[in-house]
A = this chain, B = another copy of it.
Amino acid sequence: MNLQTQSRPLSLRDVQITDKFWSKEMELVRTEVLPYQWNALNDRIPDAAPSYCMHNFRAAGRKNRERKALGDAFSEPKFTKQGWVFLPEDPQAPDDQFYGFVFQDSDFYKWIEAVGYSLTQHPDPALEALADEAIEIVCQAQLENGYLDTLYILSGTDKIFTNLRDHHELYCLGHLAEGAVAYYQATGKTRLLDAACRYADYVCCRFGAEDGKLRGYPGHEIAEMALMRLYEATGRERYCELARFFIDERGARPYYFDLEQQNAPAAPDELRYAYHQAHLPVREQNEAVGHAVRAVYLYAGMAAVAKETGDASLTAACERLWNNMVRQKLYITGGIGATHLGEAFSFPYDLPNDTAYAETCASIGLMFFARRMLELKPDRRYADEMERALYNTVLSGMSLDGKSFFYVNPLEVDPEACRRDERKFHVKPVRQKWFGCACCPPNLARLISSVGSYAYTENDSTLFVHLYPGGTVRKRLGSQKTPVRIASELPWSGNVTVSFPEGSPEFTVALRIPSWCDSYALSGAEGARQELRDGYLYLTKAWSASDRLTLTLPMEVRVRRCSPLVRENIGRVAVTRGPLVYCLESVDNGEGLFRLSLDPSAPAKTEPGTIAGENVVTVRMPGFRMRLPENESGLYPPYAVPEKDPVILRFVPYYTWANRGENEMTVWVESE
């Protein structure tokens, strides 16, 4: 069999997710997160710091009209900044200045992206009308020349592209493109897509290797992958070229960020470049370093360019960076970015549980990277980690009621330490309502709403099933689309069925066999050619309505250890089942989780449970609780075999933790 290996995600209009698990998540986004976020963008959340996002767009629109009326003789206001965020004297009635974080525009773009995805799964005319109105406000803010970032439109266009390192104009371009393509693909409407193209065209004119152009690149990556998406949606090669230019320029010496900051005090600190992944040309990078979100956004962009251009050196760099990340810098929960200092990757095998950063957005970015690696080459190594990130750290980012969010996803929490130990002040023992710097909640909204584009990709011959959300996927075959129905009970059990319409042409269904099961059982594939390669089971046939594939992925409770290269987890074990990592909470197990221990060889028992209304599978395993001394015997008594009482440990899925009030949590448990 000569199987075409590269693939692409399907339009979400061709992927209808209907299973209970994901439908619930998506409905939370539609009914809770999107309306809340819209209010946040419009500064209508009581007791929350205003976002100023829509204020800035409206003010920029007014300024544009004024500018036109004055024949462009408009005088620019002064660029005034207070600390990291622009704040008005009267937050209730800000004047027509830019306020909020420099990247505030992107909050709208993330929202509109999630709205687009959501509309594909659940038509909502009221939401769509609101979105169209909002898009109009945004488009009014765009300059005649296509530039669109309210920071400089409101604060001084002479400063445009003078601080790429910190001021996120290209980051906003990236989110604009992502949002615009999503909304266009969902609705067919081009208003925002046109705006994105105009801004991208302007950037194409300003950036490049030619004389007189800027040889810069984004301080916060995302434009790379977003431009590739804009290219795929429009077919305009210049967007692909711009993405490649950004990737090729990054890390060139002298450092662009130094050149543009040449009047600022010199800070010859290599770490500064690594934070932006600009310490080396990307093809020479071997280690995942710096700000974790930026890193995986970059790597996703690199993979997208590599796939389009067939650039083997770029593919090789992606593989090296992937392997480095997965082998040395990945939490068992799919979290990345072990240190909150710089929200960054730490050094190899430094994976502290209690001071972890493991930002929700970084694991979302890991999924972006993984999906693009899968598009390059289907290999379950990528899908396994994409799944790990999704079902653990990403889902952990949102409460089960969709109303509060984690940025930081630790693997061990003592609420007392979060309050009293400044090293852990970044770790919150309960999810927070919304944040001033609102990256994770809208990122979660767009990820959850588009889970279908991570679960399935296709090429001419093959439908790849990477994850198993249940629903219907319309596989393109020539000019036809053939609906393939997938039913699954993941993450609670590994039973999957795939069914087909009558009389479909021959095509291949490639089903991922996850690494969490040692074996699998397949029935109903009679007459299909079968091949197992890189963790995917390729089944080829001209399918008919009588074909009904039944795939059984045994989902045993599995106790896992950690590589002995990781200092933090020596002598400790973690419990997993299928794609889910489990954890202990003190609400189930009493206080002092660090005094509990587990016999890894003891039998595990699964049991249905309910957490904050969510039906889950819990795990019970026999273990021990170390006794506290009855008498004050000092901190350092002579050794005695610790006295332990047998207990039943009750594990719950990691993503459900902290939904029952503030309490201790741990993923890793002492091993007997």
Which A residues are within 8 Å of any B CB, using their own CB? 326-328, 330, 332, 339, 341, 346-347, 350, 355, 414, 416-417, 420-423, 558-567, 570-571, 573-574, 592, 594-595, 600, 626-629, 632-640, 642, 670-671
A637 near B560 (CB under 8 angstroms)? yes
5 closest A-B pairs by CB: A559-B639, A347-B420, A600-B639, A341-B422, A567-B594
- Provide the residues of chain B in CB contact with A627, threshold 8 Å: 564
B564 near A642 (CB under 8 angstroms)? yes
A568 to chain B, nearest CB (A): 9
Docked pose: A634 CA to B325 CA in angstroms: 11
A556 to chain B, nearest CB (A): 10
Given A326-B634, A564-B627, A570-B626, 20 extra CB contacts under 8 A = A327-B634, A328-B635, A339-B421, A339-B422, A346-B420, A347-B420, A350-B417, A350-B420, A561-B637, A563-B629, A563-B634, A563-B636, A563-B637, A564-B626, A564-B642, A565-B592, A565-B628, A567-B594, A570-B670, A600-B639
B595 near A636 (CB under 8 angstroms)? no
- Provide the residues of chain B in CB contact with A571, threshold 8 Å: 571, 670
Docked pose: A574 CA to B636 CA in angstroms: 9
A421 near B561 (CB under 8 angstroms)? no
- Provide the residues of chain B in CB contact with A346, threshold 8 Å: 420-421
A268 to chain B, nearest CB (A): 17
B341 near A423 (CB under 8 angstroms)? yes
With contacts A346-B420, A347-B416, A420-B347 taken as known, whether A635 is within 8 angstroms of B562 at the C-beta atoms is yes
With contacts A635-B332, A638-B558 taken as known, whether A564 is within 8 angstroms of B595 at the C-beta atoms is yes
A421 near B347 (CB under 8 angstroms)? yes
15 interchain pairs (CB within 8 A)? Answer: A326-B634, A327-B634, A346-B420, A347-B417, A350-B420, A414-B567, A561-B642, A562-B636, A563-B634, A564-B628, A565-B592, A567-B594, A570-B594, A570-B670, A639-B671
- Provide the residues of chain B in CB contact with A559, threshold 8 Å: 638-639
Closest B residue to A422 using CB positions: B341
With contacts A416-B347, A565-B628, A628-B565 taken as known, whether A560 is within 8 angstroms of B594 at the C-beta atoms is no
A423 near B423 (CB under 8 angstroms)? yes
- Provide the residues of chain B in CB contact with A565, threshold 8 Å: 592, 628
- Provide the residues of chain B in CB contact with A595, threshold 8 Å: 564, 570
- Provide the residues of chain B in CB contact with A639, threshold 8 Å: 558-561, 573, 600, 671
With contacts A561-B642, A571-B571, A571-B670 taken as known, whether A566 is within 8 angstroms of B635 at the C-beta atoms is yes
Docked pose: A364 CA to B548 CA in angstroms: 77
With contacts A355-B423, A421-B350, A571-B670 taken as known, whether A561 is within 8 angstroms of B640 at the C-beta atoms is yes
With contacts A417-B350, A561-B640 taken as known, whether A327 is within 8 angstroms of B632 at the C-beta atoms is yes
- Provide the residues of chain B in CB contact with A417, threshold 8 Å: 347, 350
A441 to chain B, nearest CB (A): 27
Is chain A's interface secondary structure helix, strand, loop, or mixed overall?
A: loop
- Provide the residues of chain B in CB contact with A636, threshold 8 Å: 332, 560-563, 574
Closest B residue to A632 using CB positions: B327
A146 to chain B, nearest CB (A): 41
- Provide the residues of chain B in CB contact with A671, threshold 8 Å: 639
A409 to chain B, nearest CB (A): 16
- Provide the residues of chain B in CB contact with A600, threshold 8 Å: 639
- Provide the residues of chain B in CB contact with A626, threshold 8 Å: 564, 570
Closest B residue to A626 using CB positions: B564
Closest B residue to A419 using CB positions: B347
- Provide the residues of chain B in CB contact with A642, threshold 8 Å: 561, 564
Most B CB contacts (10 A, CB to CB) among A350, A417, A561 go to A561
- Provide the residues of chain B in CB contact with A420, threshold 8 Å: 346-347, 350
Docked pose: A600 CA to B637 CA in angstroms: 13
Question: Which of B563, B566, B629, B632 lies in contact with A564, CB distance below 8 A?
Answer: B629
Most B CB contacts (10 A, CB to CB) among A355, A571, A574 go to A571
Docked pose: A638 CA to B506 CA in angstroms: 39
Docked pose: A571 CA to B594 CA in angstroms: 10
- Provide the residues of chain B in CB contact with A567, threshold 8 Å: 414, 594
A48 to chain B, nearest CB (A): 23
Docked pose: A562 CA to B566 CA in angstroms: 23
Docked pose: A471 CA to B420 CA in angstroms: 47
- Provide the residues of chain B in CB contact with A633, threshold 8 Å: 563
Docked pose: A39 CA to B183 CA in angstroms: 72
A310 to chain B, nearest CB (A): 28
Docked pose: A326 CA to B628 CA in angstroms: 18
- Provide the residues of chain B in CB contact with A328, threshold 8 Å: 635
Docked pose: A350 CA to B417 CA in angstroms: 8
- Provide the residues of chain B in CB contact with A592, threshold 8 Å: 564-565
Closest B residue to A625 using CB positions: B564
- Provide the residues of chain B in CB contact with A640, threshold 8 Å: 561
A563 near B327 (CB under 8 angstroms)? no
A634 to chain B, nearest CB (A): 7
Docked pose: A327 CA to B341 CA in angstroms: 33
A407 to chain B, nearest CB (A): 18
- Provide the residues of chain B in CB contact with A629, threshold 8 Å: 563-564
- Provide the residues of chain B in CB contact with A350, threshold 8 Å: 417, 420-421
Docked pose: A671 CA to B567 CA in angstroms: 15
Question: Which of B564, B566, B638 lies in contact with A560, CB distance below 8 A?
Answer: B638
Closest B residue to A425 using CB positions: B341
- Provide the residues of chain B in CB contact with A566, threshold 8 Å: 635
- Provide the residues of chain B in CB contact with A332, threshold 8 Å: 635-636
- Provide the residues of chain B in CB contact with A421, threshold 8 Å: 339, 346-347, 350
Docked pose: A423 CA to B354 CA in angstroms: 13
Docked pose: A416 CA to B414 CA in angstroms: 27
A269 to chain B, nearest CB (A): 12
Docked pose: A628 CA to B564 CA in angstroms: 6
Closest B residue to A597 using CB positions: B571
